Each structure stands twice: as structure tokens, then as C-alpha cells.
Structure 1
Amino acid sequence: MQRIIHLMVTSLPPASPPASVALKRLCRQVGLHATNCTAAFIDDRQQDIVHESALFLQTLHKLWESQDVNPAEVWTELLRRLEVAELLMKLNQPPHRKKRNGKVMRPWRVTTSKLP
């Protein structure tokens, strides 16, 4: 009885809207082209890397359009991340470094290569 009351009182989390068949197909295509691009890279197939990369970006653009994502916002975010990564590299390798006891001192060391 307590279980029934508990189930009646607690609300279920809102269900996510079902994705359309077309959206699922588009997502599969994006994944397929990304996978094919990676496989071409592993096999060192330069022409296939170019071809699959172009297909990946083209399909990704369609996915953005279907979700009302402005491509300029994505490219701006990517540019921001690249600029931050370049800044981190400059901070890690300042041109004014001095040697102490025969070793180059680093005032700040970046320990990751991942973009923020």
C-alpha cells in the first residue's frame, strides 16, 4: 500500500520529446562520416580523409540547421578555443626565459594539450 501511495505522490521526470526519424537518420550520418574519417586517418588514406571530412562538415551543417543553430556561433566558439590554446602555449614558452643552474625556468607550465 505504501508503495502505491509513494508512486502516486512522486512525479515522473518529464519525458524527452521523441526525436524524429529524419533527425535520427541525420545523426547516424554525422557519426558515420566521423567514423569513416577516423578510419581513413588510421589507414593513411589522404584522399578519403578529405572526402569524409567534407561530408562530415556538410552533414553537420544540416544537423545545425535542423536544430536552429547558427553556424557562425559554432565557428566563433571554435576560434575562441583555438585562441585560448595559442595563449596557453605562449604562456608555457615565454621568449624572455632565463636559465638558472643550467635549466630553463618555466614560470607557468601547461600540463594538458586539450582545448578548454
Structure 2
Amino acid sequence: MEIDELYLLNPWWKEPSAINFERNISKYKSSTFRFYPEKTFNQIPPDKPGIYTLRGPRQVGKTTFLKLYIKNLIEEGINPTGIFYLSCDGIRDRFELNEIIKLYFESFGKSLKSMKYIFLD
């Protein structure tokens, strides 16, 4: 994977407002029935480092939750390049995953001294 592909998965790196036009966010906004998972958001404090897992069956809103959480982080003033989202559907193995994460840190890790938010979906 190249850095250009990571920019496609993370459009907020170039333009923070791009999160509002992301596919899952757009579908969420246009949905007749919306559930806003505020309680779950509050269980994952953005200023406390940790590893959190979100599990559930397919098509229940896990990716939408992640994108809403990313949107909240951006709205709270977190540096957008400190937020890394990766869909792991096409990842072959742990070695490829490691290379992609390494690419992210080589591209942004040195310039950003603040906390990083990594979302693996």
C-alpha cells in the first residue's frame, strides 16, 4: 500500500471537513432512524491512551461508530493527521498490516508529537 491510498482512506488529512461527506457518515445522516452511541463514546475517553475493541456481527454499525468517533475527535480539535483509519478487509497478513502502520508512522509520526488514534476496522 502506498501513502496515496492511505490518503483515500483518511480524507480528513487533507481537508478536515471531508469526514462529513464520508460514505458511512452520509448514510447515517440520511437515515430515518438514527442511534447516537453517546454512552459508548463516553466509555472511550479521547485523552486516555489505551487499546479498545469493538465487536459485533456484520452490518450492525461498527464502522459507522468508528467514523462518528473520528468525526468527534476532529470536531474536538484533534490534529486530523493524528487520526489513522484502516479497513483491514484487503490485508493479507500481519506483515502487510505492520508495513502499513509503519508507513503511517514514517509519514506522520515524527512531525506529530501528540497522541495518535489508530482505528483498525
TM-score range, shorter chain: under 0.3
Provide the TM-score with structure 1 as the length reference. 0.27
Higher-helix-fraction structure: 1
Instruction: Please identify the structure whose Cα radius of gyration is greater.
Output: 1
